[in-house]
Amino acid sequence: MLRLILCLALLAFAGPARAIDLRAPFDSIDGGTLALTDWAGQPVLVVNTASQCAFTRQYRGLQDLYNRYRSQGLVVLAVPSDDFNQELDTNEDVKAFCELQYGIDIPMTTITSVKGAEAHPFYASLRDEAGFVPRWNFNKVLIGRDGRISGTFGSFVGPLSADLTGQIEAELAAAGD
């Protein structure tokens, strides 16, 4: 029964790819900015993260995912957020935690709002154009090489799950078309 409910939930998100605004840059935790448009033509997995969440161990999987597919063009972008009150106090603390605990070298933004009136323009566009708002930390949005939403995944979908890696592999294969 649970499997049926999950399948129906996935079908609810199925349908044609939807366009979203990729132009607004994020502030990089390393300084400067990160623009999704810099990765045009590449699939990008955008993940709202938090350092003090039960799902925080997914950082390891995100790094493993990036290591597995980066040479084929995948970008994994971590977007630390305190919207669910589970992020460390400063960008410096987040960066140090991720590097020391998980050896993270994926691109990472500064602490950024992902929902509500203060949501970053990318997340506001997801809400307005696709009806997607992160319900918790470690929600994942796969942007296809065409700049459209290829899939959205909740917190319980691990970075190395077959559902997510299958969608990523399809996007990477499509890049050769």
Q: Which residues are catalytic?
A: 53
For residues 45 and 74, the answer to whether their CB atoms sit within 8 Å is yes
Q: What CA–CA distance (Å, rounded) separates 95 from 92?
A: 5
